[in-house]
Amino acid sequence: QKEVEQNSGPLSVPEGAIASLNCTYSDRGSQSFFWYRQYSGKSPELIMFIYSNGDKEDGRFTAQLNKASQYVSLLIRDSQPSDSATYLCAVNMEQTGANNLFFGTGTRLTVIP
Amino acid sequence: SAVISQKPSRDICQRGTSLTIQCQVDSQVTMMFWYRQQPGQSLTLIATANQGSEATYESGFVIDKFPISRPNLTFSTLTVSNMSPEDSSIYLCSVFGRGMNTEAFFGQGTRLTVV
């Protein structure tokens, strides 16, 4: 069974701290990995994507991928109250000739001013 | 990127009725995806809408309950049939950017409440 699992949270961090969000996936053949942010009542919006093992940095966000451990994480540095949202991990599971995105249950992050 | 227009944005419906949700994309795409997001839950894929063929439904979802149309490469509809309060949810259509392993773009979502 193809699964994507996240810490459900809620996760609370003080403003300026580092927020760490974790995700594991079951399909070893997965090729690409995404972090989406979803504000309450809104559609998901892409924050980061990562395809290769290691770290990928974009501003205050760093995605980390370890395919051997089937683990992907998102670090948010200098957390701001505006970062308070639900973060969804999504994995493109291996399917011949097709994209098929599976989502984790999401981690609700609250940044406390 | 892709711009997706989805409507209605929200609706309140009586149980036993049906609602059709429309999704229009600003470019031609092979596949369109329909997701459901129940309150406090993540996104669950309902089905993949392919132009020119039957939609492919995920486990737990059937065509009689969620019929899908895909008349061309830029448009799709999802109907929620014979609604019950358990169908109250946000419904999202989605497409991928060009090529494999690209990000998914989402419509604004339809917030459905069944009373």
The model's pLDDT over A87-100, given as tens digits with 9 standing for 90+, comes to 999 998 765 445 67
Question: CA-to-CA distance for B113 and A26, rounded, in angstroms?
Answer: 34
The overall average pLDDT reported for chain B is 91
Residue A97 confidence (pLDDT): 46
Cβ contacts below 8 Å, chain A against chain B, sum to 48
DSSP designation for A93:
-
- Phi first, then psi: give them for residue A59, nearest 5 degrees: 65, -125
Mean pLDDT calculated for residue range B67-87: 95
Residue A81 confidence (pLDDT): 96
The model's pLDDT over A8-50, given as tens digits with 9 standing for 90+, comes to 778 999 999 999 999 999 988 888 899 999 998 888 998 989 9
Percent of chain B scoring above 70 in pLDDT? 96
> CB distance A101–B33 less than 8 Å?
yes
User: Does the pLDDT of residue B98 top 80, yes or no?
Assistant: no
User: Does the pLDDT of residue B67 top 50, yes or no?
Assistant: yes
Which residue reads 């594991």 in tokens?
A: A24
The model's pLDDT over B39-62, given as tens digits with 9 standing for 90+, comes to 878 889 899 998 888 899 988 999
User: Does the pLDDT of residue B6 top 90, yes or no?
Assistant: yes
Distance from CA of A32 to the nearest CA of B (A): 6
Cβ-Cβ contacts under 8 Å, A104 against chain B: 42
| DSSP string for B9-39 | SEEEE-TT--EEEEEEESS--SEEEEEEE-T
Biggest distance spanned by C-alpha atoms of chain B: 41
Quick one: closest CA in A to B47, which residue? A100
Question: CA-to-CA distance for B89 and A113, rounded, in angstroms?
Answer: 31
Of A44, A45, A51, the CB nearest to B101: A51
User: What are the residues facing A56 on neighbouring strands?
Assistant: A63
Least confidently predicted of A40-44, A91-95, A101-105, B104-108: A91-95
Q: Which of B104, B3, B77 is nearest to A102 (CA)?
A: B104
Q: Which residues of B touch A (CB under 8 A)?
A: 31, 33, 41-45, 48, 92, 94, 96, 100-104, 106-109, 111
> CB distance B42–A106 less than 8 Å?
yes
Cβ-Cβ contacts under 8 Å, A32 against chain B: 101-102
Residue with more model confidence, A30 or B12: B12
Residue A94 confidence (pLDDT): 61
Distance from CA of B33 to the nearest CA of A (A): 9
Of B43, B103, B108, the CB nearest to A103: B43
Residue A95 confidence (pLDDT): 56
Distance from CA of A72 to the nearest CA of B (A): 16
Residue A96 confidence (pLDDT): 45
Question: CA-to-CA distance for B37 and B96, rounded, in angstroms?
Answer: 18
